[in-house]
Amino acid sequence: MKQIKVGIFGLGRGTSFIGNILACNGEIVALCDKDEALRAKYGERYPDAGVYDNFDDFINHEGMDAVVIANYFHEHAPFAVKALEKNIHVLSECTPAGTMGDAVALVRAAEKSDAIYMLAENYPYMKFNQEMRRVYQRGDLGKVLFAEGEYNHPIWGDGWTQELCPDSKHWRYHMPRVYYITHALGPLCYITGAMPKRVSAYPVSYPHTKESFLGDLYWRLPDRGAIVSCFNDDGSVFRVTGWEQFGAHDNTYRVCGTKGQIENVRGDTERITLRFNDCDIPEGLKETNSYYPEWAIEDRDLAEKAGHGGGDFFTVKVFFDCIRENKQPMFDVYFGTTLSAVGILAHKSALEYGVPYDVPDFRLEEDRVKWENDFSTPMWGSDGTPPTIPNTELAEYVPTEESMAEYDAAIAAIKAAKK
């Protein structure tokens, strides 16, 4: 088995890939981050790896086969393009593109490159979602008509806030929740094979307060999620939420077909419920079936140890398999940019209270040219570039200089108190 030499760009989330890279016969050969402390920490752990403070030097590291792109959420695409131009394989940790223009540039670069591009979307590879795909692909449910996906992940407590949103220009401070859509939508596309073609969304907003949120510290953005409707290429409809922050923590999915339905259970997400009408019960099953699926793979021990319900192992394994076999993954550049576009266009729709948008087919140049110059964004760039569109439909809660300064002062006070 060929050993794959990997560089990691972004040593926060990026280093969580290391265990699975090594388990799949990879080698860490280069590390890059702007944070000096992170460079020192991981440079000491991997003394044979090159350590860099800028991407341009990092991507020229000799002998690097592949790179994990794990910088800020909305800024993956420009760096992935540079890697693809050098025929270096790319595993993009999060949503591939933060703007529609970035998505177009990324697809064009991938088409010209000899390298493999893959979105490291890990939620489809959770045990229960792999089981739902197996049942659907077996034909037990018939054809999908409707499906639901929710990624409900409230984050409370100033400790979390300091770690995940360390300043008022950080992407999490400004990001519409619907931009973080791949965990809600990706599993449904993986299970059924359906892909969105038209999208509309309604915002779910309720302002956080100092009293109900973090005491003396709070995010100003009032969005708690969005209710997104996707009309798909096979005529089915999905209802997804993006990264929602209402109700109780859960990752839940339901697929309804012409013959039956399957879902994982709220509050017990590892458990599957598979149901049929009495006229459509497959042989060997009952009208209602409830069970905990098991891994049907040789690498079950590695999957059990991996983060995100085993998903982190499979993203690396599939990526490496595709490199070694020179084949494109299911979560290729077209899959990834389509999911990015759904989040971006759903936010545009939510700002207009449900106006629908067609999702471009990024395989078609006539669709790409419509969006190639659209770099509008609700988030600050890491270079200090300000947002160009609102991050919420509630104008009174668009972050101001005063609210951002208040947030930064609160963060600074907490850090000082801990010294």
Question: Which domains occur in the chain, in start order?
Answer: 4-119 (3.40.50.720), 125-298+333-368 (3.30.360.10)
Euclidean distance between CA atoms 297 and 265, whole angstroms: 23
Q: How far is CA 104 from CA 86, 333, 348, 369, in A?
A: 18, 10, 18, 8
Predicted TM-score (pTM) of this structure: 0.94
* Residues of the chain under the 70 pLDDT cut: 155-161, 208-220, 298, 300, 303, 306-307
Hey, which residues does 118 pair with through a beta bridge?
91
3-state helix, strand and coil shares in percent for the chain, rounded to the nearest 5: 40, 20, 40
Give the model's pLDDT for residue 153: 83
How many CB atoms sit inside 10 A of residue 58's CB?
A: 23
Q: Please enumerate, as own/partner, the contacts of 24-33 that have beta carbons within 8 Å and a separation of 24 or more.
A: 24/316, 24/317, 24/320, 25/1, 25/320, 26/66, 26/316, 26/320, 27/3, 29/5, 29/61, 29/63, 29/64, 30/6, 30/58, 30/61, 30/64, 31/7, 31/58, 32/7, 32/8, 32/58, 33/9
DSSP 352: T
Q: What are phi and psi of 202, to 5 degrees?
A: -120, 135
The CA-atom distances, in angstroms, between 167 and each of 49, 274, 283, 329, 412 are 30, 45, 57, 36, 9
Cβ-count burial of 321 within 10 angstroms (0-12 exposed, 13-18 middle, 19+ buried)? middle
pLDDT tens digits for range 65-97: 999 999 999 999 999 999 999 999 999 998 999
Burial category of 263 from C-beta neighbours within 10 Å (exposed 0-12, middle 13-18, buried 19 and up):
buried
The pLDDT assigned to 407 comes to 83
Q: How far does CA 152 lie from the centroid of its chain?
A: 13
Render pLDDT for 376-404 as a digit per residue (tens, 0 to 9): 999 999 999 999 999 998 888 888 888 88
pLDDT at 157: 54
Give the DSSP H or E segment for 161.
helix 158-164
Q: Is the dihedral of CA 191, 196, 201, 206 positive or negative?
A: positive
Residue 70 Cα distances to 227, 308, 375, angstroms: 28, 16, 21
